[in-house]
Homo-oligomer: A and B are copies of this chain.
């Protein structure tokens, strides 16, 4: 299962950490990095995350037996079209995109010749940090990686992708692309847009200066994810806009209920809601919430 030659297209936090983790595990021979930012690739080379730089995706994936596409999902189609003609017949391809239905659709459009061995995946890890400089061999340890295999995938291709993520220390599960997008829409995409929206509200407020001056630790943690890459989150929101709009509507109904409780000064209803939420979060933290994700 060892990877002889790994091509990482997009050597950012995720792509760089994947290469670093496989190197640390002895699971890869040589790593070639492809990307738009030369300074970032040079840094990855200096850090030993990659062994060589390829100037374009087609050159980069030539001779690779494993290819990881790790760019914002809005660039996935272009990247697939660029590598498709150059892929070796035995190469397995996967991605690290935060949404899966759009990546699958792009694969059908731009990677039709390799549907047997393109295995979509999403490592649920990362942070608001970006770039190869933030990469870490430990990033995926005990984190969830979701595979959404295609009907066309060979068992061998799925096993190779699964094996690579296991070698990174991750826990690998499988589900449909639709289930993935609905699930992540609730627990990841929704909180991100809620955090962006709150900071935007404060920033545009007439008393913004005073508001920021008195914002404290609760605000800081709540909005940490609003320091995430706007480009990446633009792509995620556009790709998953139907599932996200649906859960946003549910959330707005939740806020409607809260508003009614406030208008009625319904202390008992507010306490019930807060207690339910507090208890659910504490149960989650006692499980895997605190340590593994």
Q: Given A202-B187, A238-B270, A289-B215, does the pair A197, B281 have CB atoms closer than 8 Å? A: no
A137 interfacial contact with B, CB 8 Å: no
In the bound complex, CA of A183 to CA of B205 (Å): 11
In the bound complex, CA of A204 to CA of B254 (Å): 11
Copies per complex? 2
In the bound complex, CA of A146 to CA of B215 (Å): 12
In the bound complex, CA of A186 to CA of B206 (Å): 12
Contact present for B198 and A194 (CB under 8 Å): yes
A108 interfacial contact with B, CB 8 Å: no
Secondary structure of the A contact surface, majority rule: helix
For A199-217 the 0/1 string (1 means CB < 8 A from B) is 1111111011011111111
A36 interfacial contact with B, CB 8 Å: no
For A233-270 the 0/1 string (1 means CB < 8 A from B) is 11101100100110111111011001101110101001
Interchain residue pairs with CB less than 8 A apart (19): A146-B214, A184-B214, A186-B211, A187-B215, A187-B219, A191-B222, A199-B277, A201-B250, A203-B276, A215-B289, A222-B222, A223-B281, A227-B281, A233-B274, A245-B263, A248-B255, A251-B255, A252-B252, A255-B255
A residues apposed to B, CB below 8 Å:
74, 124-125, 127, 143-144, 146, 179, 182-184, 186-188, 190-205, 207-208, 210-231, 233-235, 237-238, 241, 244-245, 247-252, 254-255, 258-259, 261-263, 265, 267, 270-271, 273-278, 280-282, 284-285, 287-290, 293
Contact present for A196 and B273 (CB under 8 Å): yes
In the bound complex, CA of A204 to CA of B207 (Å): 36
Q: Which of A146, A218, A273 has the most CB of B within 10 A?
A: A218
In the bound complex, CA of A277 to CA of B204 (Å): 9
Contact present for A254 and B200 (CB under 8 Å): yes
Contact present for B278 and A197 (CB under 8 Å): no
Contact present for B218 and A188 (CB under 8 Å): yes
In the bound complex, CA of A108 to CA of B229 (Å): 50
Q: Given A237-B262, A280-B202, does the pair A125, B191 have CB atoms closer than 8 Å? A: no
In the bound complex, CA of A244 to CA of B270 (Å): 13
The 6 A-B pairs at the shortest CB distance, nearest first, are namely A230-B274, A203-B280, A199-B277, A187-B215, A234-B271, A216-B293
Contact present for B203 and A186 (CB under 8 Å): no
B residues in contact with A244, CB < 8 Å:
262
Q: Which of A234, A249, A267 has the most CB of B within 10 A?
A: A234
